[in-house]
Amino acid sequence: MAHDIFAQLNNVSMSAQKVRLVVDVVRGKKAVDAVNILHFLPNAAARQVSKVLASAMANAEENFGVSRDDLYIYRISADEAPTRKWRKFGARGRFKPVLRRSSHISVTLREKE
């Protein structure tokens, strides 16, 4: 019976667009291989995605008694979270908006049959 093992990291202070670049690299891979790939990626988002993946793998071992080697990434996504709006003051008394974007990363693992 296939269990869906889930982990989520909310309000990561990084745009969803940047996180998706990393997420697309590991989608569908074996969980152990994905951790190794993320370790060597230069993107800052790779560290955050690695955290969520490690958490999901730990959930699988603790809650379901599933071995790490049998897991693969069934579903992984990076969605937009609330954007903080800041002001940067410009010439002639104007101000320019600065959008500090953030994202939610979610991972679902499944056991290989």
Give the model confidence (pLDDT) of 36-83 as tens digits.
Answer: 999 999 999 999 999 999 999 999 999 999 999 999 999 999 999 999
Percent of the chain topping pLDDT 70: 99
What class is the 5-111 domain?
alpha beta
| Spatial contact of 74 and 60, defined as CB atoms under 8 Å apart | no
Q: What is the spatial distance between Cα 63 and Cα 80, in angstroms, rounded to a whole number?
A: 29
Q: Mean pLDDT, to the nearest integer, of 97-105?
A: 96
| Spatial contact of 91 and 5, defined as CB atoms under 8 Å apart | no
Q: Which residue has the tokens 């230069």?
A: 42
Question: In angstroms, how far is CA 78 from the centroid of its own chain?
Answer: 6
pLDDT greater than 80 at residue 86:
yes
pLDDT greater than 70 at residue 1:
no
pLDDT greater than 90 at residue 3:
no
